[in-house]
Chains A and B, each alone.
Chain A
Amino acid sequence: MKPHARDVVITGLGVISPYGRGCDTLWAGLAAGACVLGPLRLFPTEGFPSNIGGQVPEATVRSLGAAQRSRANRFLLAAGEEAVGQAGLPDSALTTAAVSIGGTGGGMLEVETWYQHYYQKQNDRRVRGALRTMVPAAQTEALARQFHIEGPRESPILACSSSAAALVTVADLITTGMVDVGLAGGVDSLTRICFMGFNTLKLVDKSPCRPFARDRRGMSVSEGAAVLVLESYEHALARGAQIRAFLSGGAISSDAFHPIAPPPDAEGAVRAMREALQRAHLTPSDIGYVNAHGTGTVQNDKAESAALEHVFGAGKVVISGTKSLIGHTMGAAGAVEAATTILALEAGLLPPTANLSEPDPEIPFDCIPYTARPAVVDHAMSNSFGFGGQNVSVIFSHPRTLE
């Protein structure tokens, strides 16, 4: 199929993950099936059911510089630097670019420290700096400033599907001809509030999470950032950029069912996947791999499996849950997993689901246990679902399919 001028392509990827800095590091870990989840050391975890999660290595954090900035800010700027550098965008293209960065916690980690002092009526001179980075929009602002971007700027908050929605946002702005270039992604650092919250809701596993396993017990909280450079096909072509993938279609839907639980038939997720397929002009049989949301909670995995069964048919598509390897990076997850999906298309290798010694017989899909699998895939889907019943599905296509 011949691409249209306003089709959306990906020309740059940047990632900070619990494996460390960069896409290559992420892919090396995923391809090796290396589960990086372990005891958290960022803050005290005593008294909570689980202390397991994914943490960006301290050596990586130190290498990011700008120690006066919030942890989330440093992750995002590093991911942005990698993505923009890789895309080789000229400054002129960046000036009018759009920026959409999703997240949930913003700079809350630093604010928590400040709040502890505030609560105990202690004077804390860090107040101004901490509060400036508190809201997620502060991270987006920092990225825009870093690259002198003066185009449309937003910070979508859709819980764990925030950064997937950012991708759909920027793709829409490109498709409708409003901008030629955009940076889309997400960031979240670990925060005590997030860790405590999921523990309190009893949604965390005491062991590293086991998506789609019979004995799965919950998720593993994690942190990271990912930024993708999106461009119109004609813009990328005109400047001779290397096209890494097409963003063929994306959709956002809502469950309107329950504040934190999906409906058992995952009807909202089904609508998101179907609309994404429709917008990509693809059928379910065209999709060779789904990077599932796969948190490892009993309800979510079951609902996602039901949705996949509705859309693709039982066992008709190969899926994996890469949160079993790096944990749930919260608002960044959609973008990190979008990068994962694109890297899988490029490498012809599907990342596995770790810790899957005993697959759940009620989940009728091949979840690629433990070992990455070679496969030439043209089109792949990445799913992201979040609190508030927010569903986002995005489809990526290998450039060979459209050129």
Chain B
Amino acid sequence: MAVRSPRRVVITGIGCVSPFGVGGAEIVTTMLRTQQTAIAPVRNFTTEALQRHLGAEVPAADLVHDEEGRRWSRVTQMAVVACRQAVAEAQLAPGETLHPFGLVIGTEFGDLRSTEAFDASFLERGPRGLRAFLFPNTVMNSMAGIVSLALSIKGPILTLNQPGVAGELAVVRALTLLAANRTQAVIVCGVDELFSALYEVLGRLQVPSPCDNGEEACRPFDQRHNGPVLGEGATALVLETLEHAQARGATILAEVQQTCWGAVPARSYRYPSPARLHYRLLDELLASATLRSADITAAYLSGSGTPQHDTAELSLIAKAFGVECPLLTSVTHLAGEYGSLGALRVAAASITAREGLLPTLSYLDRPIRTDVRFTRQSETSSPGVVLVHGLARGGVQTALLIGPPSTH
């Protein structure tokens, strides 16, 4: 389904809490320029007894230093800080200005750490051991509730639970809020946290690299891919209608030109089989945007390094674009994999669309397909329209076209 918005939608602010640092668009630009991966041995908790040791972590320090903020859980702090950064970069002040704004948060696991701590407190000491203050955090919208409180957002607020493409989906849903005239501006945030129990359990399930018991590494689209390396972070974006942004004299970072949202058949918690894929969504995206394949200069893919994921996504892209396939790239090898990473992909695409900066997949010795082009060496594209594509376990698919601001 193409999201038909009668109004043009622009990005005016980016906020980032990441292993690369905390800040605005400059953090994402630095990530693209330096090409330094954040994947390293996990430091925030011990992995001594585990079979896996790598992750991409936000440093352990407190993110919010005021007294109120210290009561918030870590993942909530990440969301609040990212949203505050995005709002500041958009030159908006928390308070009355933000009352009519909407907020969409995408997450795969929410504040699962608090849920675990709440249950553990019961198992440890029975009903009397329960810590009441943790209970509200066990509902996934707790982060949105706190962000709305911290920034004084009173418009429509949604938290979307979605594996794999929670970040992209949050952006798409923001566009539907704008299309339905529910608000003129939306703050979008993709946030997920890595913590010991989740790391251990996903490891037991053989989800992360090395799912083949080989070398632990993050190598999406390479023949040696053997699962993702887990990461964490929060990326926020301020989305506004063009009229709203222009009326307040905002600096426009990029334009969301078109989005599509649907699903391809897949078994529960599995990636779609290439034999059962269909390509309707990307065709619809190009048709509704009245673009030719060749007009798209680059594409950020969601491929996590899980072999089935990488294979299915490349099949979709190769089939939709054929010989006019854009230059394919990824941020997963830099930032690690988490359910809402897509918000960072959208932020990176907005910089690529404007400046042509692209991440290099330097690890990519033997791509799983040779009929498509990847950013294997340091490359830039000309500023232009960039595709952000997402494919999730269970089959949810998203596609967004991000363009430079110059066409207004």
Contact = CB atoms under 8 A, between A and B. Distances in A.
B41 interface: no
B108 interface: yes
A387 B261 contact: no
Nearest to A271: B154
A60 interface: no
Contacts, number: 204
A151 B141 contact: no
A178 B175 CA distance: 12
A31 B375 CA distance: 65
Contacts of A127: 201, 204-205
B123 interface: yes
A154 B141 contact: no
A388 B141 CA distance: 7
A198 B152 CA distance: 26
B270 to A, nearest CB: 9
Interface in A106-146: 106, 108, 112, 115-116, 118-120, 127-128, 131-132, 135-138, 141-142, 144-145
Contacts of A177: 4
A215 to B, nearest CB: 24
A191 B278 CA distance: 38
Given A197-B118, A201-B135, A389 B145 contact: yes
Interface stretch (A12-20, A256-264, A300-308): A256-264
A119 B179 contact: no
A256 B99 CA distance: 9
Interface string B262-274: 1111011100000
Interface string A171-194: 011011111000000000000110
B109 interface: yes
B130 A176 contact: no
A112 to B, nearest CB: 7
Contact of B154 (A128, A254, A388): A254
Which range holds the interface residue count of chain B?
35 or more
A253 B154 contact: yes
A386 interface: yes
A258 B68 CA distance: 12
Interface stretch (A156-164, A312-320, A347-355, A360-368): A156-164
A367 B151 CA distance: 37
Which range holds the interface residue count of chain A?
35 or more
Nearest to A114: B201
Contact of B176 (A104, A119, A172, A198): A172
A10 B123 CA distance: 45
A132 B269 contact: yes
B149 A157 contact: no
B136 interface: yes
State the main secondary structure of chain A at its contact with B: mixed
A400 B10 CA distance: 43
A158 B153 contact: no
Interface in B114-171: 115-116, 118-120, 122-123, 126-128, 130-132, 135-136, 138-142, 144-146, 148-149, 151-163, 169
A157 B139 contact: yes
A252 B115 contact: no
Nearest to B130: A200
Interface string A3-17: 000000000000000
Interface of A: 47-48, 96, 98, 104, 106, 108, 112, 115-116, 118-120, 127-128, 131-132, 135-138, 141-142, 144-145, 148-159, 162, 165, 169, 172-173, 175-179, 192-193, 196-201, 251-260, 268, 271, 386-390
Interface of B: 1-4, 99, 103, 108-110, 115-116, 118-120, 122-123, 126-128, 130-132, 135-136, 138-142, 144-146, 148-149, 151-163, 169, 173, 176-177, 179-180, 182, 201, 204-205, 261-265, 267-269, 278, 394-396
Given A47-B128, A119-B120, A256-B154, 6 more contacts: A96-B1, A98-B1, A153-B396, A155-B160, A156-B158, A387-B139
